[in-house]
Amino acid sequence: MNAMTTMSKHPYAGTGAHTGSYYAASANPAPLRPALQGIHETDICVVGAGYSGLSTALHLLEKGYKVTVIEGARIGWGASGRNGGQIVNGLNASLDTIERRYGKDTSTFVAGLVTEGGDIIRERIATYDIKCDLKHGNVFAGLTAKHMREIEDRWKLWRSYGIESQEMLSAEQMREHVNSDVYVGGMIDHKGGHIHPLNLALGEAAAIEKLGGTIFEMSPVTSVETEGPRPAVKTANGKIVAKTLVLCGNAYLGHVVPTLEWRVMPVSTQVMATKPLGEKLARELMPSDVCIEDVRYILDYYRFSADNRLLFGGGTVYGGADPKDIKAKLWKNLNKVFPQLAGTEIDYAWSGNFALSFSRVPQMGRIGQNTYFAHGYSGHGVTGSHTFGRILSEAINGDLTRFDTFAKLPWIPFPGGRMFRVPYSVIGSWWYAARDRLGI
C-alpha cells in the first residue's frame, strides 16, 4: 500500500505537524514545545530546529551562551527528520572539483573536515545518551566498470589527502554487504554509518534544553530584521530580539529572507519503508547491516532499520514538489536490487526537500552585522550540517578562521535565474541520467 500508516499515537505522527513517515511513527517520546508568545530577548536566536540549527545551538550552549531556537513546525520536521539516515562523509562536490574551482589550499581545508560531521554525531550520541539506532559503515556501490573507475579514483584521491577510512571492494566482497546481482564492486567507508534521523534530532533538542536552552515550536517566522546591532525575528504572536541571529531554515526557509531564497533550490527526494522483514531475511539481503548508496547521478540509497524494515530511497524532483505515487516511483529500482522482495508490503512512503546549491558546495555567510546563515548541503546534510553548526559557533565565539574560508567562496547562481532554475536543472538531470543508463 502507498498510504502512510501510523504505528503509535506519538505527537510527531498523525497530528498534521509532521510528515507521515516511518521515522515519525517510531520516534522516541518527546514533549510538545510551546509556540512563541510575546517579546523575548536572548544572546543567540537560531531559526530552524533541523541539524544545522540544533548543532549550532548545542555548541553555543556548551560555550555558555543563552540560546533560543525557534521552529516553524516540530523538531526535525524538515530534511533532518525525513532523510535516508545515512552518515556519508564528504560534500556533494568532490575534492578534485573543489581543488579545480577554488585551489589546493581550499580543497586541503575541506579534506580536513569531511569526516568531522560523523565524529560530531557519534560524540553527541555518546555524551547525551541519544537513542537513535547508530550502526557503522556505509558502502558506495558500482553498477558498471565506469562506476568502479570513478570509485577507485575517489579512493585514491581521498588517500592522497590523508583520509584512509575507505577500502575498495570486489564484486565478491560486495556480497558480504549486499546480496544483489546488480553490483560489480564498490567501496566501504568505515567511518560512515546510519541512524534514525528524527530520533537524533529529538535527542539533540533534549540536550539543548538540558543545558538551559529554550525551544519554541509551531512558530513560523514571518519577518526577519538583520540591520543594526540587534537582529530580530517576528512570528504571528511574538518576537525574539537577539545579540546574534543564525538562519538555518535551509530548503524550508521560504520567502522570509529574499537575500537567501534564490541562492539554493529545493529538491525533493523520496523514501519508503517495507513491513518488518525479520532478522533472518534482513541479514540474507544485507549481511553486514551497513547502508548503501550507488554512484549514479540520480542514485538509490537504502539500509535496514532497527526493526528490520528495508528503508529504500531515491529519485529527485527539482523545485521540491512531491510525486503523486512515491511507491511507484521507487519500486522499480528496489525490485532491480532485490527481486526476491517482489510483492512485499510497503508500510510507509514519504518525501522531503533538501537545498541544492548550483556549485554543490554548502554556503555559509553573514547578512548585516550580526546575522549568520548556513544552507545548501545538496543531499549531504546529515554530516555537513553538524560540521557547519560547529563552525558557526566558532565564528560567533570569535574564531572566524574556518567560517571565513567558506564565506569567501563565490556564490554561483543557477543559470536562468529564478524563472528557469528548475527547467535548467531538470534538463541537466536528464543528461546525466542518460549517461548513467548508457554507461558513458
Q: Which pLDDT belongs to residue 420?
A: 41
Instruction: Look at residue 317 in the predicted model and tell me its pLDDT.
Output: 60
Give the Cα-Cα-Cα angle 56, 62, 64 (nearest 5 degrees): 105
Question: What mean pLDDT is reported for the chain?
Answer: 87
pLDDT range class, residue 256, cuts 50, 70, 90: confident
Which is more confident, 363 or 305?
305
Q: What does the pLDDT read at residue 433?
A: 46
* Model pLDDT, residue 190: 97
pLDDT band at 291 (very low <50, low <70, confident <90, very high): very high
Give me the mean pLDDT over the 2-20 stretch.
Answer: 45
Q: Measured at the alpha carbon of residue 56, what is the angle toward residues 55 and 57, in degrees to the nearest 5?
A: 95
* Gap between the Cα atoms of 428 and 440, Å rounded: 15
Tell me which of 33-42, 79-88, 201-210, 370-379 is least confident.
370-379
Q: Picking from 90-104, 171-185, 274-288, 384-398, which range would have the lowest pLDDT averaged per residue?
A: 90-104
213: nearest Cα among 81, 53, 370, 80: 53
Q: Cell numbers for 430, please give them.
A: 536528464
- E strand or H helix at 228: none
The full 3-state SS of 354-384, as one line of letters, equals EEEECCCCCEEEEECCCEEEEECCCCCHHHH
Locate 62 and state its grid cell: 556548551
CB neighbours (10 Å) of residue 312? 25
Is the pLDDT score of 11 beyond 50? no
Mean pLDDT of 160-166: 95
Residue 259: its pLDDT value, please?
Answer: 77
pLDDT tens for 80-111 read: 999 999 999 988 778 888 888 889 999 998 89
Instruction: Tell me the average pLDDT across 353-363.
Output: 76
Lowest mean pLDDT, pick from 278-287, 301-310, 325-334: 325-334
pLDDT band at 163 (very low <50, low <70, confident <90, very high): very high
Helix, strand or coil, per DSSP, at residue 343: coil
- Using 50, 70 and 90 to split pLDDT, how confident is the model at 227? confident
Cα–Cα distance, 294 to 142 (Å, whole number)? 6
Distance from chain centroid for Cα 358: 17
Please give the pLDDT value at position 13.
42
- The C-alpha cell 560555550 sits at 63
Residue 8 has pLDDT above 50, yes or no: no
For the stretch 418-430, pLDDT in tens is 444 444 344 344 3
- Cell numbers describing residue 316: 529527485
Q: What is the pLDDT of residue 415?
A: 60
Name the grid cell of 252. 524550508
Q: Annotate 263-284 with DSSP letters as a single string.
A: TEEEEEEEEEEEPP--HHHHHH
